[in-house]
Structure 1
Amino acid sequence: MDSDNENSVASSASSLQAPAPLPQQQQQQQQQQPHFHYQGSRHGHRHTRRHFGDELDVALMDDDIDMQSDGSDFNINTTDLTLNNGLNGTLHEGEPMAELGPIRKIPTEVLLLIFSQISHKSELVPLLRVCKRWSNLIVELLWFRPSLMTSRAMSGLQQVMSMNPNETYWNYRPFIRRLNLSFIYERVDSDFLNLFEGCYNLERLTLVNCSRLSSESICNVLQNCSKLQSIDMTGVKSIDDDIFEALGQNCPRLQGLYAPGCKSVTRRGISAIYNSCPMLKRMKLSDNLSLTDEDLWCFVNNCKSLIEVDVHNCVNLTNDSLITLFVGLEQLREFRISQNMNVTDQLFRSIPEDAQFDRLRIIDFTGCTQITDQSVERIVQAAPRLRNVVLSKCTMVTDSSLRSLARLGKNLHYVHLGHCTHITDLGIIILARSCHRLQYIDLACCQQLTNNSLIELAHLARLRRIGLVKCLNITDLGIHNFVIRRGHDDTLERVHLSYCTNLGLSPILDLLRACPRLTHLSLTGIRAFLRPDILCYCREPPSDFNEHQRALFCVFSGQGVRKLREFLINLYETRPEEFNSTRLIDGQPLVNLVAGIPIRGFPVQIPPQQAQGQQQRQQQQDNFHAGLMDRARRQLGDNGLFNGFGIGVPMNNNNNNIAEVQGDGQGQVQQARVEANQDVVMEANVDADVDVVEVDSE
């Protein structure tokens, strides 16, 4: 909320105490006055101060919040709201319908729908002054999801919640249905969370990164929360059996349980969930060493609605329970089981050949090193609508797996192949030509890849993120060709080039000039950028990095990308000699890549002899790439998957070209929690000889 609105709301506060009884004469006068008060009238203002107190104003200090910021967050249930405040859907008890004005004849349900369309809380606050009926409805909308985006908002809410409910006009706890403390996690402790004990209508509780909370405080809030549907405890360190048992005893409607890192939870707590929460749909129990095949069987048998299962690093699970999971959960959409050596090809050989997982969209087998090309082929056959495939550190995967993934065609949007060291340019060409809607591809540490892969990836019109960490064969010429083919209004948003040590300043300037939407660029370990006048624009390294890691760290985000672009442009205009690459390609130096691209503002001409040599090397690159494409076409045959692009033809990558039809049927289903929530994505899958791990924070 802006300062004017905030001051006007605060000015209506006069007392923290409950309103004192009025003398009988004043009560009679007030009864003779109409209930409807215009929000601009002084009388309405006095009415608000006298009857509501200032606890509402204090709690709504930051009330200029977009109520529709989360489209799924407010799904109005008028029956619940009217029952909460005792209206029961009636109008004005004891008053004949004929004596009511037109606006007071509007049914409660219709009023709630009208109020819910108001986008900002600041626009609702003045309506509290109209009449008691309106105020009872509006206060529920205001407290439905308290705004806790800032420390100031937290202090205001803390002041109100600390008051005795008998001293406030309303008891606000039953109004709260969404409680998200993730924006103020650094200040949240057990005492603050205990203030929300008694919020028995709570439906969603988000405690992401609230590491100072105790198990007891979480259990206190969960008491009598029979309507709770989702709880997210990502980053909470005190997750134990008591919390799981409290969920089982109090929350039979629980649908979402996010408890990664729940190492202290034993089978006692796990059994409380699958025995008492049959409506469970989403479950994240990563790093739990107590979860066994028997427990997973019970989840499958008791919780038939499961659509998301994350058992990352649950090392006691084997093929036996996973077969039951795939066959028994018909609604399954997301499955993650990372770092598990027990998962083998036998899992997919045991699944019936006619089994179809049409709803499966996301599958993650990170670090399941026993997975081979046979497993990938079977997955694609059974789940033809996969959108997100993660095979990072599946070291036995080869180009054959990429040929299988190519059969997903337009459905495949995200693919993670970090540390799949056996894949080559041929596999990338096949994948890129068949899956033209790819938006994200991670190829970290795929050290057999060369510039030919970059040339092919350049044709992906929807590509937004590309990870090439430690792809040592990527050179200035590869980035140069990549930029030329994509054009100069590129869709790329995040590019990871850390430890591509053959890169210099020139190709990065090419990239920055061609990608106006770029918000993240990682160049860690590239010597040309480890200089003070450039490092001043990169963000701070993580606090847990050692001295060596901090010295190599070079990541630009947000405004840092813009400042780097401006600095390099100015550097090129004032000292162009710094952009003369000393890299040798076929025994010849590659000079002034920037000048070879028709980008506005770069008029420098390459000397004729150097230009001729560069053209010859470019022709050799194109000829070699054409040979790879012929091989890819022969391998795919005539199955219609291969989309041919002309060699050396720049791609006009404007908005009109990428505005394709989004697909039909279930192809329009958006990938869930690409989160949010919400989320931290590990960028650099760096192998043992490099000890810097970059964190790519959304």
Structure 2
Amino acid sequence: MGAPLKNPSCIADLPDKVLLRVFSFLSHRDMMKYSIVCKKWKMIAQDSRLWGFVSLRPEISGLSVQNQDMLIKLISTRFTTNLRYLELPCDLITREVLQELANKCPNLTHLLLDFSHGAQLADFSELNAFPTKIKYLCLCLSEVIFLDNFMKKIYNFINGTEMLHLYGTYEQGEEEEGEVYEVLNIRTLKQATPNLRVINLYGVSFVDDSHIEAFSSNCIQLSVLIVNYCSKVQGASLKILIQRCKFLRCLMLQQTNLLAENVMAVEWDNASNLRELDITATDLSKDCLVDLLTRVPQLEWLSAGQLDGMSDYVLTKWMESGELFLKQIM
């Protein structure tokens, strides 16, 4: 008789580097669940190479850290130099955590700080360090937490930021009408971030045309501006925005309260780099739409849903102008 057949191979027999690759396809929540299978899997799950992009917002990732001390330990032992993207809920945004990130995670470039569900702000009066390589900064704003004192502490560390996302409280505001507070001084923020290329002010209830003008005066490299669901925006600053920001490629104005006279006053012929435009649900008239679309030189993508003024007449005039270069219309 021949030699007995060996037992078939199983996943436990795979080399560590292969297991590491397999685990890289798992969410961190699943990774933690499977780490209790055996010591080897626990070791793989704790490899810092798997913890480069981390969300600690339970409602997003299903992953939560119980307290500040546990997070500080994770920063030192699991995240370290491999951490590049991190999302933190309000209760974990503390002076100690931010300083530990600055000291132990030198390659952190993308940071999301979620203040939206918090009731109060931690004490940052002694904050003396903050990650210095941040290229992407996202702040989820609260209706009750004023961030000016916190921001004053980090302005000197974020002047290299290229992408700024501020998520407002538009949805909450729709449910409960009340006084709108300017919880963040955008005019001061723009002075500290001169290298911005992308600005997203989604649903920030206090943002108006003066804030757009403030950014246009300082961010000469600006290529993307999004003010979707900023109901106070009426377009009064669009003219100066187009004049100043020659590299503007994408302009998103969905669900704003644009006035036709403001839009028609813009020198759209000079917006030579503008390729993407969103004017969904802005209530612009057909005459305004014709004036706008026939003067933008190289528009390739347009979102214009929920517009009573968008009609066959507008499309016909647009085609007759010779400026219709769209690759996609929504």
Per-residue deviation, 1:420: 2.0
TM-score scaled by length of structure 2: 0.73
Question: Are 1:402 and 2:212 counterparts?
Answer: yes
Stretches of structure 2 that go unaligned for 5 or more consecutive residues are: 1-7, 171-179
The residue aligned with 2:53 is: 257
2:139 corresponds to 1:337? yes
What is the DSSP-based 3-state SS (H/G/I as helix, E as strand, rest coil) of the residue aligned with 1:365? strand
Instruction: Tell me how far 1:495 sits from its aligned partner.
Output: 1.5
Q: Extract structure 1 runs of 4+ deviating beyond 6 A.
A: 218-222, 321-326
**Which residue of 2 is the match for residue 497 of structure 1?**
304
- 8 Å CA contact retained: 1:402, 1:430: no
Match of 1:267 in 2: 66
Matches within 5 A, 1:380-391: 380-391=190-201
RMSD (Å) for aligned C-alpha atoms: 4.1
CA offset at residue 371 of structure 1? 7.0
Describe the shift of the 1:290–1:383 C-alpha distance in structure 2 as closer, same or farther (beyond 3 A).
Answer: closer
Higher relative contact order (CA 8 A, sep 6+): 2
**Equivalent AA in structure 1 for residue 47 of structure 2:** N
CA shift for structure 1 position 303: 2.4
- Would you say 1:433 and 2:252 are equivalent positions? no
Q: How far apart, in 2, do the equivalents of 1:518 and 1:374 lie? A: 38
Q: Is 1:465 aligned to residue 276 of structure 2? A: yes
One-letter code aligned to 2:64? V
Residues 257 and 500 (structure 1), Cα distance of their counterparts in 2 relative to 1, 3 Å cut: same
Per-residue CA shift, 1:102-147, capped at 9, x if unaligned?
A: xxxxxxxxxxxxxxxxxxxxxxxxxxxxxxxxxxxxxxxxxxxxxx
Corresponding position of 2:33: 216
Give deviations 1:189-212, integer Å, cap 9, x for gaps.
Answer: xxxxx689644264796548x799
Tell me, yes or no, if structure 1 residue 358 matches structure 2 residue 159: yes
Shift of 1:351: 3.5
Name the SS of the counterpart of 2:255 in structure 1.
coil
Structure 1 residues 334 and 360: alpha-carbon distance in aligned structure 2, compared to 1, 3 A threshold: same
State the AA in 2 paired with 1:299.
Answer: L
Give the aligned length: 304
Amino acid at match of 2:74: I
Tell me the SS of whatever aligns to 1:404. helix
Quickly say closer, same or farther: Cα 1:498–1:197, change in 2 above 3 A.
farther
Q: How does 1:162-561 map to 2 (within 5 A)?
A: 164=9, 198-200=15-17, 202=20, 207=25, 215-217=32-34, 223=40, 247=45, 249-251=46-48, 253=49, 256-259=52-55, 261-267=60-66, 270-276=71-77, 277-285=79-87, 288=89, 291-293=92-94, 295-312=97-114, 315-316=117-118, 320=122, 328-341=130-143, 343-344=145-146, 346-347=148-149, 350-351=152-153, 355=156, 357-367=158-168, 372=182, 375-450=185-260, 452-453=262-263, 456=266, 458=268, 459-472=270-283, 474-487=284-297, 490=298, 492-511=299-318, 514-519=323-328, 521-522=329-330
Contact 1:281 1:305 in 2 (8 A): yes
Structure 1 residues 283, 222: closer, same or farther in 2, change over 3 A?
Answer: farther
Shift of 1:508: 3.5
Looking at structure 1, the residues matched to 125 and 305 of structure 2 have their Cα atoms a distance apart, in angstroms, of 39
Deviations 1:350-407 (A, max 9, x none): 3488x36331111111116877497111111111111111212221122221221112
Larger Rg: 1
Q: Percent identity?
A: 13
Q: CA deviation at 1:482?
A: 2.1
Deviation at 1:515, TM superposition (A): 3.6
Contact persistence 1:413–1:439 (CA under 8 A): yes
Cα shift at 1:423: 2.5
Give, as a single letter, the amino acid of the residue that structure 1 aligns with 2:327: L
Instruction: Tell me if structure 2 keeps the 8 A contact 1:361–1:386.
Output: yes
Question: Given residue 164 of structure 1, which amino acid in structure 2 is its aligned partner?
Answer: S
Give the Cα–Cα distance (whole angstroms) in 2 for the partners of residues 442 and 508 of structure 1: 20
Structure 1 CA distance for aligned equivalents of residues 260 and 248 of structure 2: 19
How far apart are the structure 2 equivalents of 1:466 and 1:438? 11
Q: 1:336, 1:364 within 8 Å by CA — same for their partners in 2?
A: yes
For 1:515 and 1:475, locate their aligned partners in 2 and report how far apart those are by CA, in whole Å: 19
